């Protein structure tokens, strides 16, 4: 049972470039599954990306933290 909000990976002509490695896309849907109404992409990035394995998640978080660190600006 997957008790998360899943992502359909594409809506209309918009296709998520991360969907094949994102748990929100590849997880098996539950009988009463919820989905995002819109793709959660902003400027080519997804704040709801959930890596399918631990290492990918850590690397994605580290990259996100480093690019969004405003303490030194």
Contact indicator for 57, 30 with CB cutoff of 8 Å = no
Q: CA of 24: how far to CAs of 32, 33, 68, in Å? A: 15, 11, 23
Can you tell me the mean pLDDT for 3-20? Answer: 92
Q: What are the φ and ψ backbone dihedral angles of 22, each rounded to 5 degrees?
A: -105, 125
Measured on CA atoms in the order 23, 26, 28, 33, is the torsion positive or negative? positive
| pLDDT tens digits, 33-52 | 999 999 999 888 888 988 87
Neighbouring CB atoms inside 10 A of 39's CB total: 18
Place of tokens 């849907």: 29
Model pLDDT, residue 1? 55
The pLDDT of residue 13 is above 60: yes
* Residue 67 or residue 13, greater confidence: 13
């Amino acid at each position: 049972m997957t008790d998360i909000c899943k992502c359909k990976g594409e809506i209309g002509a918009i296709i998520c470039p991360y969907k094949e490695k994102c748990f929100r896309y590849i997880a098996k849907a539950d009988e009463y599954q919820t989905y995002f109404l819109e793709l959660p992409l902003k400027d080519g990035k997804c704040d709801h990306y959930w890596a399918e394995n631990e290492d990918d998640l850590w690397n994605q978080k580290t990259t996100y933290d480093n690019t969004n660190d405003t303490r030194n600006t």
